[in-house]
Chains A and B, each alone.
Chain A
Amino acid sequence: MKPDTHDCALTAAERSLREIVEAGATNKVLRKEKLSDTIVLFELDNPLIARNAVAGQFVVVRPNTLGERIPLTISDADKVRGTITIIFQVVGRTTMELARIKEGECVPDVCGPLGTPSEIENYGTAICVGGGVGIAFLRPITKALKEAGNEVITILGAREKSLLILENEMRELSDELILTTDDGSYGIKGVVTGPIKEMLDSGRKIDYIFAIGPMPMMRAVAETTRPYGVKTVVSLDPIMIDGTGMCGGCRVTVGGQTKFTCVDGPDFDGHEVDWDELKIRKAYYFAEEQAAKEMAAKEEN
């Protein structure tokens, strides 16, 4: 069988709720941008999700009629235009298939906004830490923390300069911006935990840390802040299917208790997360994912 994506027409932005919901969403890709070699941005027509989406929530997306359901963070929601923005890194078959969808075409299934919104308060001084493609999802949280009155220090880390995305946008949102690259090609050479530790050691009062990015990075941030007792919230990314609390596939252990990430999270206290378990669970389908990726790569050529 051949997978196919849907044809669709543009929908008007301004309609009553009943009209909007009865019509459903087209999920038309109104804007497609490549932020780096492997990072793609979609702005999708979905007034339904845009209405209620808040920072920290995600959508579940299916790239075609044979495809897998994968969660992607809502990086921005424009209530006026009725659109949401997702930013994803091409890492395997599903994200490859998604990246194949062209501007003007539609993503067949987009469901959301899912997950419990991030807890936004005026904590005082907050550090927002983003690694890799995680920077994209840091944006709505940084924005919300700033709007809540926090002094916001943002630390962005990437392997090398070309992977550092959204630098200007994040600079605008933050009181202070620190950049790190593993190879020193831009900003401070090293990883994000360096400047965090420095700040904590310097005696500067830090009230809240939010970290999002690859699992090893979030874990390292949590370990760095643990001795200082600074509240550190991380955004977990286990394997999901439905995203509504129905399958239990996204189970994680936090504070010794089993949680369903899709409904209880994705934000959790980084000091309480059982990281070893999460690492194992994330690798559940490693062999199958590799095979699927090779297959998809062949199709691409």
Chain B
Amino acid sequence: MSRIKERQPMPQQPAEERIKNFLEVALGYSEEQALAEAQRCLSCKKKPCVEGCPVMVDIPEFVALAAEGKFLEAAASLKKNNSLPAICGRVCPQEEQCEKFCLLGKTGQPVAIGRIERFVADYEALHSNGNIGEYEGPKDPMLAKYGVAVVGSGPAGLTVAGDLAKMGYSVTIFEALHDTGGVLRYGIPEFRLPRNILNREIEYVQSLGAKIVKNVVIGKTVTIDELLSGGFDAVFVATGAGAPQMMNIPGENLNGVLSGNEWLTRINLMRAFRFPEYGTPLKKPKKVAVIGAGNTAMDCTRTALRVGAEEVAIVYRRSRAEMPARAEEIENAEHEGVKFHLLTNPIRFIGDDKGWLVSMECLKMELGEPDDSGRRRPVPIPGSEFIMEVDTAIIAIGQTPNPLIRTTTEGLKTTRWGGIVIDEATGMTSIPGVFAGGDAVTGAATVITAMGAGKIAAKGIDKYIREKYGLPVPSEEPVQEESKGNGQNP
């Protein structure tokens, strides 16, 4: 049978419509489309696609179930490895992960794994009558007295909390902000990830028994040492990479220059686009330059359009090929009218006599020799200075881990740039009983890698607590289970 080379297109809100609202851009497959797309899969024996997935979702299995219309079974299969499929289906950079390895990609377009994943997860949500799904697996009542503190409610923290709660531990998530989800709430805008989907996933983790305490900043409200001495048996640090990098060029503190984090937090977390119904104000921009070309930068441009900016541009010092954002989001931004000033670097912000940004001086760049990251290094072209008029400049050139935990936890080993050092196999840090994962360890990465780190750490924490208290360690192989069977409980 000859295979269809092209994947099913994703239905979208038309660009001219969607830039006027915050509703989801990609509308999701219809049932027919999901079936048709799933049926493209070759069910490869060697499962090359699975290698590209950081949490090893059994892609051929769930796609085959979807191809037969068994969407609920497909969802169950997905959830074995990925507890947040509705989110991952939407935000994973699939072109660099699972879909990159799809065999069909060699001759045509790869199977749209992410889109099927999204459909299956949404289908399950829709057909569960608002029920967030009961966990029916085994919970060990013995474990309830052991407390695990999870610091941060982003994808890494939610994953650890969910997995440990399923095992039977008492898990408490501490979140610094007044709302949960980490970057999923304050960073990624709702037109990419609707809030009801995020809320549902968080309710699911709570339904497993995990408690969430908001407005607690670990390192300030309580320290990690206090958690350990105050009754918690283990701590998982999933504080992300939330500190914005600034450019350190003149004029950066003028009114009108913001970090990507501030811009997105005002809009996504504080809902300033609905000011004055909501209390947090927003200055309506006219001409916006967003500096950088990662996911944060794309999200900044597209939110700027939606709050009514007339002109929005990306200013990026390298070329198109080096832009780190998801391909789909770059394309979306382009369709929505975002301009791209590539090989361009701002060197100075210029203000009026009242301290408000009016323009930006930029330099043109060209690509030179590759740097450490293997990407060609941008080099300034002498004499190429020019002025760009803008009233709002958003700096989205990267984030680093917040130093709060590092500076308040004695003995916690970190790298030169502030990432927490862990044992890759267990997630344990240099302090026994303290584990870490996600962006706090890797620096800014992806939702699915943060979840993957959470999965590993959940196992590491379980093992640590069992060893500490001499509890039997359930092994993966049921065969070995027998030989270990006689109670070693304290």
Q: B-contacting residues of A (Cβ < 8 Å)?
A: 1, 16-19, 21-22, 24-25, 48-49, 51-52, 62-63, 66-69, 93-94, 97, 108-114, 241-242, 244-249, 251-253, 258, 263, 276-277, 280-281, 283-285, 288-289, 291-292, 295
Contacts and interface: CB of A to CB of B under 8 A. Distances in A.
Contact of A113 (B220, B270, B276): B220
B443 to A, nearest CB: 15
Given A22-B147, A68-B270, 17 more contacts: A24-B213, A24-B216, A49-B221, A66-B279, A68-B279, A69-B178, A93-B279, A109-B178, A109-B214, A111-B176, A112-B220, A241-B280, A244-B220, A245-B242, A247-B265, A284-B283, A295-B276
A283 B255 CA distance: 9
A295 B226 CA distance: 44
B278 interface: yes
Residue with the greatest number of chain B CB neighbours at <10 A, chosen from A62, A68, A248, A251:
A248
Interface residues of B, number: 53
B279 A292 contact: yes
B404 A263 contact: yes
Contacts of B355: 276-277, 280-281
A249 B280 contact: no
A55 to B, nearest CB: 15
A66 B261 contact: no
A289 B280 CA distance: 9
B75 to A, nearest CB: 32
Residue with the greatest number of chain A CB neighbours at <10 A, chosen from B227, B231, B403:
B231
Nearest to B245: A248
Nearest to B178: A109
B144 interface: no
A241 B262 contact: yes
Nearest to B248: A258
Contacts of A295: 276
B178 A111 contact: yes
B222 A1 contact: no
A284 B178 contact: no
Closest 7 CB pairs of A and B: A17-B230, A18-B231, A280-B355, A288-B281, A68-B279, A111-B215, A247-B262
Contacts of B172: 21-22
B177 interface: yes
A251 B280 CA distance: 18
Interface of B: 147, 149, 172, 174, 176-178, 211, 213-217, 220-222, 226-227, 229-232, 242-244, 246, 248, 252-255, 258-259, 261-262, 265-266, 270-271, 275-283, 354-355, 402-404
Given A97-B279, A244-B176, A277-B355, A249 B262 contact: yes
A281 B244 CA distance: 18
Residue with the greatest number of chain A CB neighbours at <10 A, chosen from B176, B254, B258, B404:
B176
A69 B214 contact: no
A283 to B, nearest CB: 8
Given A16-B230, A246-B243, A289 B281 contact: yes
B232 to A, nearest CB: 6
A22 B172 CA distance: 7
Contact of B258 (A19, A249, A276): A249
A239 B470 CA distance: 52
Contact of B252 (A22, A97, A258): A258
Contacts of A241: 262, 265-266, 270, 280
A246 B244 contact: yes
Nearest to B242: A246
Contact of B402 (A24, A48, A110, A244): A244
Contacts of A285: 281, 283
Contacts of A110: 215
A263 B254 CA distance: 20
Given A18-B147, A246-B402, A52 B221 contact: yes
Contacts of B259: 247-249
A18 B146 CA distance: 11
A245 B243 CA distance: 6
B253 A108 contact: no
Contacts of A25: 215
Contact of A51 (B147, B222, B275, B403): B222
B217 A284 contact: no
Contact of A277 (B216, B221, B243, B253): B253
Contacts of A249: 258-259, 262
14 contacts: A18-B231, A21-B222, A22-B211, A24-B213, A52-B222, A66-B277, A112-B217, A112-B220, A244-B220, A245-B243, A247-B259, A280-B354, A281-B255, A291-B276
Contacts of B242: 244-246
Given A22-B211, A48-B216, A253 B253 contact: yes
Given A284-B283, A288-B275, A246 B222 contact: no
B231 A248 contact: no
Residue with the greatest number of chain A CB neighbours at <10 A, chosen from B216, B221, B229, B232:
B221
Residue with the greatest number of chain A CB neighbours at <10 A, chosen from B147, B254, B261:
B261
Nearest to B261: A247
A280 B403 CA distance: 28
Contacts of A93: 279
Given A69-B178, A284-B283, A288-B275, A244 B262 contact: no
Contacts of B282: 288
Contacts of B215: 24-25, 109-111
A288 B276 CA distance: 8
A242 B283 contact: no
Given A241-B265, A247-B244, A253-B253, A21 B178 contact: no
A79 B232 CA distance: 22
Contacts of A292: 275-276, 279, 281
A267 B211 CA distance: 35
A196 to B, nearest CB: 29
A67 B281 CA distance: 10
A1 B227 CA distance: 38
A242 B174 contact: no
Nearest to A289: B281
A147 B426 CA distance: 47
B177 to A, nearest CB: 7
Contacts of A21: 149, 172, 174, 213, 216, 222, 227, 230
Nearest to B179: A109
Contacts of A280: 254-255, 354-355
Contacts of B174: 21
A141 to B, nearest CB: 19
Nearest to A51: B222
A111 B217 contact: yes
Given A245-B404, A247-B262, A248-B262, A114 B217 contact: yes
A8 to B, nearest CB: 14
